[in-house]
């Protein structure tokens, strides 16, 4: 399995953007691929709880949420640290809202209805922290990881499980334990160094190879 570091992946994305594959299109491709793999992993899935951070990993989650909803699943999105802040994540959160998908604050899980939805979800998507994560989980991230780790549904991490460092494979206390990880373009060192934390790893094509090697 080909492997790139977080810095190398960032450079590849910059080169792809310069070659005409926009960051927004890469995000769309990533989220759509994650949704396809989720449905392949749990073809009988009827519902999905999707946890989104405020950066581009969350943006991938918003895209996946749209595609899962279009496939007929009941979808609810939980914002781990408030509203998204990156341009493409803001855009895709807006698209999810325009579809009428519930976009809820994390503390909504203190309500019995939302807690029951999570408990009954066939799929739980981790779109909280991406390859830029280092150090310890902040309180909201730690609480979210606990929710995901205790949920009965299949936990699918986008790029890598939240709380895992992409290059070192070091896992923060309370990091997400994924059953399936969908990583984009190429594996990262953590998928090898912390294989048990990642579960089964699948690499999704998001268009970079085609645009850089036409």
> Sorting pLDDT into bands at 50, 70 and 90, what band is 1?
low
H/E run at residue 144: helix 139-150
The per-residue pLDDT for 67 is: 98
Angle at 88 between CA 21 and CA 75, to 5 degrees: 110
- In sign, the C-alpha dihedral spanning 157, 162, 164, 166 is positive
Instruction: Measure the CA–CA gap between 49 and 75, rounded to whole angstroms.
Output: 6
Q: For residue 84, give Cα distances in angstroms to 52, 81, 98, 161.
A: 8, 8, 16, 19
Which pLDDT tens digit goes with each residue over 123-166?
A: 999 999 999 999 999 999 999 999 999 999 999 999 999 999 99
Instruction: Reply yes or no on whether the pLDDT at 214 is more than 90.
Output: no
Residues 38-63 have a mean pLDDT of: 98
Q: Write out pLDDT tens, residues 26-40.
A: 999 999 999 999 999
Phi-psi region of 101 (alpha: psi -120 to 50; beta: other; left: phi over 0): beta
Helix, strand or coil, per DSSP, at residue 142: helix
């Amino acid at each position: 399995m080909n492997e790139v570091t977080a810095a190398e992946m960032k450079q590849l994305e910059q080169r792809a953007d310069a070659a005409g594959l926009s960051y927004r299109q890469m995000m769309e491709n990533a989220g759509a691929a994650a949704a396809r793999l989720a449905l392949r992993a749990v073809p009988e899935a009827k519902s999905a709880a999707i946890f989104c951070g405020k950066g581009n990993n969350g943006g991938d989650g918003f895209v996946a949420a749209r595609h899962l909803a279009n496939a007929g699943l009941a979808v609810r999105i939980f914002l781990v640290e408030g509203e998204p802040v990156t341009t493409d994540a803001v855009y895709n959160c807006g698209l999810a809202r325009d579809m009428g998908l519930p976009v809820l604050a994390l503390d909504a899980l203190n309500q019995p209805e939302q807690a029951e939805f999570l408990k009954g979800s066939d799929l739980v998507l981790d779109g909280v922290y991406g390859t830029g994560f280092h150090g310890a989980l902040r309180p909201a991230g730690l609480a979210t990881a606990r929710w995901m780790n205790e949920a009965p549904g299949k936990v699918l991490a986008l790029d890598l499980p939240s709380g895992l460092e992409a290059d070192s494979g070091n896992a923060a206390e309370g990091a997400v334990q994924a059953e399936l990880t969908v990583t984009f373009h190429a594996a990262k060192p953590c998928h090898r160094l912390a294989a048990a934390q990642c579960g089964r790893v699948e690499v999704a094509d998001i268009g970079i190879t085609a645009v850089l090697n036409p």
